[in-house]
Chain A
Amino acid sequence: MSARYGMVIDLDRCTGCGACMMACAAENNVPALPKATNRTGLTPMLVRKVSNGRNGVAQREVFIPILCMHCEQHTPCVSVCPQQAVEVDRATGIVMQMPQRCLGCRYCMTACPYHARYFNWWDPAWPAGTEKSLNPGVAVRMRGVVEKCNMCHARLHAAQEKAAAAGKREIDPADYVPACVEACPTGAIRFGNLADPNDPVTQESHSPEAFRFLARLGTEPKVYYKSKEAWVRALAEAASSTEVQHG
C-alpha cells in the first residue's frame, strides 16, 4: 500500500527555537559554510519570523518553519528538471532529489514557489574533527548540485530494512520519524501518512484551523500549517501581502 507522507505544523506551538534546523543539519550532513549568507546557505528546514506589521500591543509575530512541501500535483520542480534528478516517489509521495544526477542548472529552484531548494555554492567542508559526527547513512552532496528536504529518507530506509529483517512488508510508523519532528521540543511538527484516514495527522489536516501556503497554485502541498490566529492563516495566500509586514 502506498503512503503519502505529510506534516502538520502547529504554528501556535512553534517557539522559533531552531531545534528542527539543527536536527535537520545534523541528520542530513549539511556542511558548515562559513562564507554563506542567509541567501546562499543550506537550510532544508528554515524557521522564518513573520510579523503582523502592527505596532505596540497590537503587534503579533509568528515563526513559520519552511521546508519542501512535497507537492502532490503538478509538482513544479519535477517537470522542469532536464535529467530526471527530481521525482515524486509514488510509494511514499516524497519529492526525491537525486544529487548524483543533478546538473546544477537550478531550474528547479526557480520553479519552487516556496524557495525550499538549495544550491551547494561551496565545496562541503566540516571543521576539523567534526567530520567524525557525520551521519554514515546519508551521502554528503558535492559542490554544484541542488538539495532539499527529502523527509529524512535515510530514516525511511532504515525503517524499511528493519521491517524486511523482521519479514514484514510494511514499516512500523514509529520507526520512521524525520529528524525535525523528533527534535521539536513543543511537538509543533507532526508527521504522518495522509493516505491513512485514521492517522491523527490526516485528521488534523482537515481541521478548520489548518491551511497550506499558496494552495491556489494547485500543487497540492503535503505540508499543512495550523493556527488559531486568523491573521496567520491569512498569510497562506499572496493577496494578503499588503497587510502583512515581514520580519
Chain B
Amino acid sequence: MASLTMTETHVTDSRWIARGVERISLSRFLLCLAPWFVLLVIGVYAAGLCLFYGLNQTNMDNRFAFGLWIFLDLGIIALGAGAFFTGFLVYILKRSELKPILNTAVVVGFICYSGAVSILMIDVGQPLRAWFTFWHPNTHSMLTEVTFCISCYLLVLSLEYIPILLRNRQLRKLPSFLIFEHQLHKLVPVLAAVGTLLSFFHQGSLGGLYGVLRGRPFAFRDGIFIWPSTFFLFILSAIASGPSFLMLVTATVEKVTGKRLVPPDLFRRLGLISGVLLAVYIAAKSIDTLIWMDFTSPAMGFAPWLSYMHKPFGTPILFAEIVLFGLIPAFLLTYRRTAAKRGWLLSAAAMACMGILLNRFVLTVQTLALPTLSFDEFLTYTPSWQEVASFAGVIAYGVIVYSLSYRYLPLFPAQKGDETHVSGR
C-alpha cells in the first residue's frame, strides 16, 4: 500500500496530458487498465505457446483448418472499415461534419488492423515465410490481394496515426515533430484516397476468399468479372457496419468518461449512413442468396437445403442474418423517430455489428463444418484456451492502445475547455 500512496502523491503524468482537458489520476488510470494488462499478458503467453510449440496448441484440425482466429480477423477488419470510410467521407466527399470522429476512426482502424495482422502471424504455420508472398506472389489468389492490401493499408493507418501521436503535449514541443505533423497532415487526403482504394480491394478480397472456393459449394459464388459476388457483399457490409462500430466505440468512451465528446447530431448522421448502406447490403445479399439457391448450388450438385440441414446452422441463422440483424437495425437506424433516441440508435448499431459478425462467422465456420463428400460428417470445433486467450489479448491490446490514445492524444477536437459533463463520475 505504501507504494500506491507514493504513486498518488508523487508520480504524475500531467505534463503529458493536453492542457485544459480533465483526466483521472494516473494511479486510477493504471488501476482501471490493470485487468486488461493481465489479459494482454495471458494473451501474449498463449500466442507464445502457439509460436513455440506450433499450432497443435489450437483445436483446429485438417477439416477445420480455419477457426476462431480467421472468423474474428474477418470480423474486426470489417468493423475497422470505419477508418477508411470516414476518411473517404471527410477528405474525398468533404463531409466535414464527420470530422469529430475522424481521429477515433483512425485509432480504431489501426487497432483492428494491427490486431488482425498479429493474429494472422500466429495463425500461419511458418510466420517467417510471410514475405514469400511478396517475392513470388500468386496473383490469382485472393489471399495475395489481401496480404498486399492489408500490409499497405496498415502502413497507411500508421501514417495517419502519426500526426495524432505527434500532437501529444510533450512530443509537439520538438519543432521538427510538429512541422512533420503539419506537413503530413496536409497530405492526409492522399493517404485517405490510397486507403480507400486499398480497403475497397482487401475488404472485397476477404469476401472473395470464400466466394472462390469451388470445392465448398456453401461458399462458392458466381462472379462478376474476376470477382465472386461475396467480394462486393463484403465491401458493402464492411462500410455499413464501420460507422455503427465507431458509434458504439464513441458511446462507450462517453459512458466510461462521463463526457459528451461529439456533437449529438453526429450519431444520427453515422446511424443514417450505416442504416442506408445496411439496407442496400441486405437487398444485395438477399438477391445473392436467391441466385445461389436457385442456380449456383444446384449446378454443383448440391441442393441448397443440404447446407441448412445441420443444427445449429439451420435456416434460422439465415433469417437472423437478413432480418433480425439486417432489416431491423437498418430500419431503426434510418427511421426518424427511433434514430432520434440514443438507446434505439445504439442498440441498432450493436445489432448491425452483430449481423456482420454473424455473416463472417457463418462464412468461415459453417463453410468448414458442412460436409462435401456424401459420406463426410458434419463436424464441430471448439477453440482451445490458447486460441481464445490470444484473441482476448488482442482485445486487451485494443483497449489499452485506445485508452492511452484517449488519455495522451487529442482524439476529440471538442475536448479543449468546453467539454460538457453529462453526469458526475
Contact = CB atoms under 8 A, between A and B. Distances in A.
Q: Do A and B come from one complex?
A: yes
Interface of A: 35, 37, 39-41, 48, 50, 64, 66, 74, 76, 79-84, 101-107, 109-115, 117-123, 142-146, 213-219, 234-241, 244, 246-247
A210 to B, nearest CB: 17
B376 A117 contact: no
Contacts of A80: 141-143, 212-213
A81 B209 contact: no
8 contacts: A64-B375, A74-B214, A101-B136, A102-B125, A115-B62, A119-B65, A144-B54, A145-B125
Contact of A40 (B61, B125, B375): B61
A79 B306 contact: no
B370 to A, nearest CB: 10
B52 to A, nearest CB: 11
A103 B126 contact: yes
Interface string B97-125: 00000000000000000000000000111
Interface of B: 54-56, 60-66, 123-126, 129-130, 132-133, 135-138, 140-144, 147, 209, 212-217, 299-303, 306, 367-368, 371-377, 379
A82 B137 contact: yes
Given A64-B375, A79-B141, A80-B142, A117 B299 contact: no
Contacts of A241: 306, 371, 374-375
A39 B61 contact: yes
A219 B138 contact: no
Given A113-B372, A241-B374, A144 B301 contact: no
A64 B126 CA distance: 33
A122 B129 CA distance: 18
Contacts of B130: 103
Contact of A110 (B126, B216, B306, B371): B216
A239 B66 CA distance: 25
Chain A interface mostly = loop
B292 to A, nearest CB: 15
A218 B300 contact: yes
Contacts of B63: 39, 115
B55 A110 contact: no
Q: Most chain-B CB neighbours within 10 Å: which of A40, A50, A235? A: A40
User: Most B CB atoms within 10 A — which of A35, A83, A107, A120?
Assistant: A83
A40 B367 CA distance: 19
A82 B141 CA distance: 5
A111 B143 contact: no
Nearest to B220: A217
Nearest to B303: A239
Nearest to B302: A238
Contacts of A111: 212-216
Contacts of A107: 66, 141, 143, 209
Contacts of B299: 216
Most buried by B among A102, A110, A112, A113: A110
A238 B138 contact: no
A104 B374 CA distance: 28
A77 B66 CA distance: 15
Contacts of B62: 39-41, 109, 115, 117-119
A210 B301 CA distance: 18
A240 B372 CA distance: 11
A122 B54 contact: yes
B78 to A, nearest CB: 19
A28 to B, nearest CB: 16
A40 B136 contact: no
A104 B215 contact: no
B59 to A, nearest CB: 9
B215 A112 contact: yes
Contacts of B372: 113-115, 214, 238
A111 B142 CA distance: 12
Contacts of B306: 238-239, 241
B61 A81 contact: no
Contacts of B147: 82
Most buried by A among B132, B217, B371: B132
B122 to A, nearest CB: 11
B6 to A, nearest CB: 48
A110 B301 contact: no
Contacts of B302: 238-239
A218 B301 CA distance: 10
Given A103-B129, A236-B374, A217 B300 contact: yes
Nearest to B64: A39
A145 B129 CA distance: 11
Per CB-CB distance, the 10 closest pairs between chain A and chain B, nearest first, are A104-B125, A144-B125, A113-B215, A216-B301, A39-B61, A109-B65, A106-B65, A76-B215, A82-B143, A121-B56
Nearest to A43: B62
B73 to A, nearest CB: 12
B94 to A, nearest CB: 37
A230 B61 CA distance: 33
B120 to A, nearest CB: 8
A244 B375 CA distance: 7
B119 to A, nearest CB: 13
Given A79-B138, A109-B62, A119-B62, A48 B375 contact: yes
Which among A41, A74, A246 has the highest number of chain B CB atoms within 10 Å? A246
B55 A119 contact: yes
A193 to B, nearest CB: 25
